[in-house]
Amino acid sequence: MNAKTRFLNALHLQPVDRPPVAAVVTGITVRMMEKAGIFYPEAHKDARQLAGLAASIWEHCQIEAIKLPFGMTVEVEVLGLEIDYGTLDTLPTDIYPIWNHPDELLIPTDFLDRGRVPVVLDAIGRLRKRYDNEVAVISSIVGPFALAAKLFGFPNLFPWIITHPDYVHQILEPLTDLATRYANAQIDAGADAIVLGEATCSGDLISHQTYRDFILPYHQRLCASIKGPTILHICGKSSNHLPYIAESGATCYSFDEGVDMSEARKYAKGKVALAGYVPTVEVLLNGDPETVYQASLECLGNGVDILAPGCSLPQHTPLENVAAMVRAAHDWGANPKLHRNIPTIIKALQDQKRRPRREQRQHRRRTN
């Protein structure tokens, strides 16, 4: 079974010889840039460089999907936001929102011809031509709620959920249409799957009721309208969203260690492919290869269908750590004995984070 078949089968919950390992969010590091001879920020603006750098994760690390573009600024730049393209080791960021009322939202009819959109579509086509049936090419859009937050800002958008819910729907309606249009253009260009980046839907920012009532209907419409499989990425403490994510129509849910894996299995396993959730900072960036290896086995033992970093791979992640994640996926498929004794590296990290909070609560109870 080759990389493309393995990844797409796992995405569709079809049989695989082993779970694939992929970076479904941005996975490019400085060391990959050095190996490819292509660097940020120039690679964001040139189709040849964008395609070449995206391919480095497969060519040099055997990560089983090629993902582009890098960052979440392509759409908002076309819509008028100023962009800081960053440096060698930072991603592009939008600087500030530009609108204060839904009536200001204006989407150009020639959106697909503007800004870096043609660069992304050209790069997808180059990768499809080069890799064809060898490895999957996945591309990404910014989901409608994250787009709304970028364009109008948290201080506007979040209060409107309570004070002017009609404003929120007035914004999300056209942004969902835009996301559908851009996603389908990527499919037409040769993408095998579309990542929907919705960091603003994190349970750290909104309640599960807000997700259910304001965003889920647009995700359902978006996933049903895209002409290929979809990977919904929501990071942070989003366990309470899970019953609704399972109803979103997404093919796959990508998450980090903020999600309770037992809850993910309960609500989504067998309905939505699960991609995750090796911690990006504590393990992949700051850990050693053995820690990465054990954390990867823990993810596989907890039922992920696609082994992946929990979010964007930090740009200074050692390649040895990336290799350890790949090795864990291979060993998991080749050695059933590994399935009998699941490590608890990630659980120990979570317990360590919770301990100061528990101690603070205990101290308050003793002193009150």
pLDDT (tens digit per residue) in 215-265: 999 999 999 999 999 999 999 999 999 999 999 999 999 999 999 999 999
Token code pair at residue 202: 């994190």
* pLDDT attached to residue 315: 95
pTM over cut 0.85: yes
CATH number at 15-367: 3.20.20.210
* pLDDT attached to residue 366: 61
Closest by CA to 168, choosing from 198, 148, 138, is 148
* pLDDT attached to residue 349: 84
> What is the average pLDDT score of the chain?
95
CB 77, CB 116: distance < 8 Å: yes
- What residues does each domain of the chain span? 15-367
* pLDDT attached to residue 351: 81
Q: What are the residue ranges in the chain where pLDDT is below 50?
A: none
Nearest-5° Cα angle at 173, 168 to 177:
145
